[in-house]
Structure 1
Amino acid sequence: MLQHLTIENYTLIKHLSIDFEDGFSVITGETGAGKSILLGALALLSGQRADTSVLYDKSKKSIIEAEFNITDYDLQDFFDENDIDYDNLCIIRREITPQSKSRSFINDTPVSLNVLKIIGDALMDIHVQNNNLLLQNRNFQLKLIDQYARLQKDSATYHEGYKKYVAMQKEYERLYEQASTQEKDYWAFLYKELEEANLQAGEQQSLEKELELLSNAEEIKQQLYAVSFQFSEGETNLFSLLQECLHKLQSIENYNENIAELSQRLQSHIIDLKDIVFEITKLEEKTQYDPQRIEQINQRLDLLYTLQKKHKVNSETELITTKNHLSELLQNIEASEESKEKMANAIEEEKKILYQLAKSLSEKRQKALKNMETDLQAVMQLLHMPSARFNIQMETGDYLHASGIDKV
């Protein structure tokens, strides 16, 4: 029920605010007083298109806002489906800017014109001469029959089943569209490629360091040998000179305690240096130029670099993450295919149950039609329309829709 209407900068209205009390309200006035303007404003809240011609002041936007009490309208599902906060007091707002842009809101949530039209049609029935929009609506026609025949409970039971049926179909479509066979094969190929690569975290950095070492093996070996040679080879090697210096200090260490201490320190350093030179010699002997190993490393790094470029990542760790993601994706597809088959069977069973409910509802409607025609003709007699005849024709089909299988 409409409780409040606010109109700003619309046609001939600069600002208007109206409260509507419970019950029947009438707005009267002469031709040109603005009655149709109010209906036009309400029509905008039903999704009717508009342009800047409706602006009173062309430099400002127009705002139409209405508050509805929707307690008895059974619109909770509509709000849930469109992710809009539900409240018994529903506020609908439409804005038209000087740039011809239109924005619509339901409870301060932006919505499309299609969504606005759906709730507008549910809350408002705008009648003009020789026209009644709702009487042309198939669902409304069947709703009238159900109300007359007191089939609201049967209709509600069917509608709940229909919502479940539609939800199951949407879930099935989601599973079906999750991945085509072509996509699945491609993802399986990518996963197999990464799996066969036997990726190891930190491998790339280790191989790059090893390659750098092997590529410079000859220079490294040459320099290590030169150091080892200068320490221990030749007639005037460093060890010989250090040993000679040590003997000289030892020959005079009895004369001064400081000399004895220095002699011991030098001897200790000579021992440390010999250990260092021993390690250098071992490293020099171990360092070998290995072209075969270099080729193996280059091939492995080429594979890693190619895979990284292909998957648009920067390390083998990210490649491992990609592989795990593909594995999870393939598992989900496999699971969804099993779910699809189960879902298809469940949908078929639900369709059978729903069809029986629709068929039962249709039979009850058919039984009520003759009495409804008679009662409506009696009303027309009271309206002094003695020659009027009222006939309701209802066809029953196999197609399930929101109100059953009937068409009036």
Structure 2
Amino acid sequence: MIEQLTVKDYILFDYACVDFNKGMSVITGETGAGKSLLIDAIGYLCGDRINGDIVRKGKEKCILQMVCSLPNSTICSKLEEDGYEIEDQLMIQRIVSKNGKSTIKLNMMTTTLNYVRQLMNQILDIHSQMDTIQLMDTDVQLSLLDQYARNDALLSKVQEAYQIYAKNKKELEKAQNETFSDDELDYITSCINEINQADVKENELEQLQEQIKQASQFQKNMEDFQRSIYLLDQENGILDQLYQLHKILSKNDVLSSSVENEYYQLEAIAQDLKEKRDRFQNDVQDLDTLMEREYKIKKLFRKYGGSFEKMQQMLQSYMNKVDLILHRQDVFDKLEKKCKQSKKVYDQFALQLHESRVQCLSSLSSQVESHCHDLMLEHAKFKIDIQSINPTKKGMDAIEFMVSMNPGQPFSPLKKSASGGELSRLMLALKVVFQVQNSIETIIFDEIDTGVSGKVALSMGQKMKLLSSHYQVLCITHLSSVACWADTHYRVFKNVKNQETFTSIEELDEKGCLEELAVMSSGNISPASLNNAKELKERVKNG
């Protein structure tokens, strides 16, 4: 759960630090006060992308920070495996500069938005009016059904089998659609012969280029080699003269020994130079051959993909085409058999997935209808229409949520049947049903009660209260009928100081809570509105 949220120099906030509690918390305030800014901040700390400038005017950077209690042991183990230090809590901090650049840290270690996003998706769920609209998407509905049926492992098997089947099917269709003339066969055959006859080895080009480099360099230095050897080895050259010096000084053992050592060192140098000259002379003589081979390999690479690896791939492709042309029916038979086998495996998993989905339809519909009735949708009927479709990575089912909102009304797709207020309640009913199936610890509702009032709003608040017995629930609302269910009530408000606007948030005590409920219901604080607020609190307290 979220334990604390801190923002500094964030849009209208100078500084705010909120300590959240377990159970149900509501955030209220006048329109435009900045209630949703706090939910946006939580979203940014969960890895959402930032659109626009969120740094307070005149400031260099904005600091957002959220402290959460430790999640379940599975998530903690994964964090430790990934190198994050886990102690008593999780702390996420995001610093955004006024030029739009940001850094995000997890327990003081720099991380990525994608990593935080994947982590927080397992811990926290933010639900807004946009999510209610997304509920009309049949792909979202299918994902919710699979979530309810706990089909994750089965879905992975279906997706893996589909990828293999789709690949085999594509290969078969390509082979069936390909036609080749005699000229094309001749061309492909000539390409295969050209590559095979060249007999290029892996890394041969690099080795050739190194040999050419060395031979070229020696060729440039050949004159220096010859001159050095000549100076040392010519008649009456350095070695001869040093030998004569050695003979003259041979009577003096000390001097003779020194000159003798120099003589043998220079003689060794002369021998080394001769060996290098003889060795590289062969390379120099073969330089034209080496360069001709380099040119031939480069030409082949340019023609067949640009590298040794690409050329080998094209060679294999040519050979497959020749095999297809010469043994067309055999190739078709092999590909068709391969395709049928992979389709059979896919069908087995897809059927298991279909049966798993069908098996839970009745219980799911019953649960959703039960919660709808609690939310003042007494006549609502819910079912899931399921139709067979061609193979996809999600199986062979197309599903759609169908509802009937009034007696005698036929079932029709959700997007065509429910009004805004009805859709909000349906979403809440579905949230209660589906949320039980995952590891989420915190659920945030951002003004999902739009379009409802009175008893309906009261029932929605009651449902959120029911959720809060299992999860931490944060709710932004403009309805007193929802806010009255809260265990903790926060108020967001604006004030102006030195011609600057500041947004602040405070936790309300019992008196402040009643006053806020009075303002929300009647627009002002009066003995009558306060009395109504007290009655509302007593009513929800006593059930």
What TM-score results when the alignment is normalised by the length of structure 1? 0.52
Contact 2:62–2:96 (Cα < 8 Å) also in 1: yes
Q: Kindly tell me: are residues 363 and 215 of structure 1, through their superposed partners in 2, closer, same or farther at Cα, counting changes over 3 Å?
A: same
Give the % identical residues. Answer: 20
Structure 1 residues 57-68: aligned runs within 5 Å = 57-68=57-68
1:394 to 386, 399, 405: 386
| Residue matched to 2:36 | 36
Contact 1:8–1:16 (Cα < 8 Å) also in 2: yes
Amino acid at match of 2:26: V
* Matching of residue 191 in structure 1 with residue 203 in structure 2: yes
* Matching of residue 111 in structure 1 with residue 93 in structure 2: no
> What is the SS of the residue equivalent to 1:223?
coil
Contact 1:95–1:104 (Cα < 8 Å) also in 2: yes
Give 1:61 shift.
0.9
For 1:79 and 1:162, locate their aligned partners in 2 and report how far apart those are by CA, in whole Å.
29
| Residue matched to 2:353 | 361
For 1:226 and 1:127, locate their aligned partners in 2 and report how far apart those are by CA, in whole Å.
94
What TM-score results when the alignment is normalised by the length of structure 2? 0.42
Give 1:214 shift.
4.0
Structure 1 residues 264-275: aligned runs within 5 Å = 266=251
Give 1:362 shift.
1.9
**How many residue pairs align between the two structures?**
311
Identify which of structures 1 and 2 has the higher relative contact order when contacts are C-alpha pairs closer than 8 Å and 6+ apart. 2
> What is the SS of the residue equivalent to 2:24?
coil
Q: Kindly tell me: are residues 7 and 381 of structure 1, through their superposed partners in 2, closer, same or farther at Cα, counting changes over 3 Å?
A: same
Give 1:400 shift.
2.0
Give 1:42 shift.
2.0
Q: Kindly tell me: are residues 217 and 14 of structure 1, through their superposed partners in 2, closer, same or farther at Cα, counting changes over 3 Å?
A: closer
> What is the SS of the residue equivalent to 1:132?
helix
- State which drifts further: 70-79 or 386-395: 70-79
* Matching of residue 223 in structure 1 with residue 236 in structure 2: yes
Give 1:393 shift.
2.5
Give 1:62 shift.
0.8
| Residue matched to 1:341 | none
| Residue matched to 1:235 | none
Q: Which one has the bigger strand percentage?
A: 2
For 2:56 and 2:368, locate their aligned partners in 1 and report how far apart those are by CA, in whole Å.
46
Structure 1 residues 4-403: aligned runs within 5 Å = 4-46=4-46, 47-52=48-53, 54-69=54-69, 71-72=71-72, 85=84, 87=86, 89-107=89-107, 108-112=109-113, 116-129=116-129, 131-132=131-132, 135=135, 141-142=141-142, 144-146=144-146, 151-152=149-150, 155-158=151-154, 161=157, 188-189=200-201, 191-192=203-204, 212=224, 214-215=226-227, 220-224=233-237, 266=251, 296=281, 299=284, 356-397=348-389, 398-401=391-394
Contact 2:155–2:353 (Cα < 8 Å) also in 1: no
For 1:74 and 1:138, locate their aligned partners in 2 and report how far apart those are by CA, in whole Å.
31
Amino acid at match of 1:223: N
> What is the SS of the residue equivalent to 1:125?
strand
> What is the SS of the residue equivalent to 1:222?
coil
CA deviations on 1:71-118 (whole Å, 9 max, x unpaired) are: 34965898699x674859443333221222233344433314x55555
Q: Kindly tell me: are residues 86 and 29 of structure 1, through their superposed partners in 2, closer, same or farther at Cα, counting changes over 3 Å?
A: same
Structure 2: stretches of 5+ with no match in the other structure: 166-191, 296-307, 317-337, 400-543
For 1:221 and 1:197, locate their aligned partners in 2 and report how far apart those are by CA, in whole Å.
36
Give 1:41 shift.
1.6
Contact 1:58–1:98 (Cα < 8 Å) also in 2: no
| Residue matched to 2:2 | 2
Contact 2:161–2:345 (Cα < 8 Å) also in 1: no
Amino acid at match of 1:37: L
CA deviations on 1:123-167 (whole Å, 9 max, x unpaired) are: 44333457526736767644643565xx43xx2432564798899
Give 1:65 shift.
1.8
For 1:74 and 1:357, locate their aligned partners in 2 and report how far apart those are by CA, in whole Å.
27
Q: Kindly tell me: are residues 168 and 214 of structure 1, through their superposed partners in 2, closer, same or farther at Cα, counting changes over 3 Å?
A: farther
| Residue matched to 1:249 | none
Give 1 or 2 for the bigger CA radius of gyration: 1
